Structure 1
């Protein structure tokens, strides 16, 4: 079964943690110094927030699937939609390991389709390379993803 995904950038994680914990009437499933995630069943939603220095607001939308086969089928639908699709296999991002497909809708809204298969101890695989700048999980445009090979590649943030 698919789960809708929303990732927001927030200015102050503690304030947002309090607000969304009260709104959803439950504690987040994951809490880190710069990130929190709620896995809700009603509505079926993966809602994540991060305080990584990016402009507050919607960072990206997405669909989380339960298997690699479902991700492949979703990839076929993304291809049929006519936008560029950038695969990101075995990504470490947002304290998780996942296979991902990134695209943009015609307005430029980033969409992340993914299958998570494990946890990670860092926000993204290159955190050590960007120790002076918090990692941001949201992908750049698909062309940039294809050229860097990762949603959170240092080249997108560590200048």
Structure 2
């Protein structure tokens, strides 16, 4: 089963946490100094907000799946849709470890499809463990290239706006 994902960039994280806590009638399931996430069951959504220096508004949309097999199946559907699909394996981003597939719709809206398999202690990876050259977390999916082995670079830094 999949879960819809929406990530917003916000100007005031505390005010936004108060607003969405009231709206969803529940506190965030994850709360950090620069990030909060609600895993809502009705409607089934992974709703995340962050304050990492990007312009306020929608950062990206996505679908979260429960297994690697579901991610593979979703990847085939994305490929059939005709956009560039860029994998990002074992990404550390948004305080989680996930395998991801990134694409854009015809309007340029970024879509992140992902399977989360663990927690992380940081918002992003300090060392690149990504399957891309570091552009996977940029707004420009078309610029993504397969990763060239480089250590010490981050594909998911706060400046890049991932997650």
The answer, yes or no, to whether TM exceeds 0.5 is: yes
Output one character per residue of 1:85-122: Cα deviation in whole Å (capped at 9) or x when no partner.
00000000000000000000000000000000000000
| More helix as a share of residues | 1
The change in CA–CA distance for 1:30 and 1:74 in structure 2 (over 3 A counts) is: same
Contact 2:3 2:63 in 1 (8 A): yes
Stretches of structure 1 lacking an aligned partner (at least 5 in a row): 128-136
Compute the displacement of 1:151 (Å): 4.9
Residue 130 (structure 2) aligns with? none
Give the TM-score normalised by the residue count of structure 1.
0.86
Matched, 1:111 2:115: no
Residue 132 (structure 2) aligns with? none
Taking only aligned residues, the RMSD between alpha carbons, in angstroms, comes to 2.2
| Misfit runs of 4+, over 6 Å | none
Find the residue that maps to 2:18 and give its secondary structure. Answer: helix
Stretches of structure 2 lacking an aligned partner (at least 5 in a row): 128-135, 149-153
Q: Which stretch of the first structure deviates more once superposed, 145-154 or 106-115? A: 145-154
Matched, 1:100 2:100: yes
Give the TM-score normalised by the residue count of structure 2.
0.84
The change in CA–CA distance for 1:117 and 1:152 in structure 2 (over 3 A counts) is: same
Q: Distance in 1 between matches of 2:155 and 2:139?
A: 7
Aligned length in residues: 148
Pairing 1:49-60 to 2, within 5 Å after superposition: 49-60=49-60
Pairing 1:1-159 to 2, within 5 Å after superposition: 1-126=1-126, 139-146=138-145, 151-152=155-156, 156=160
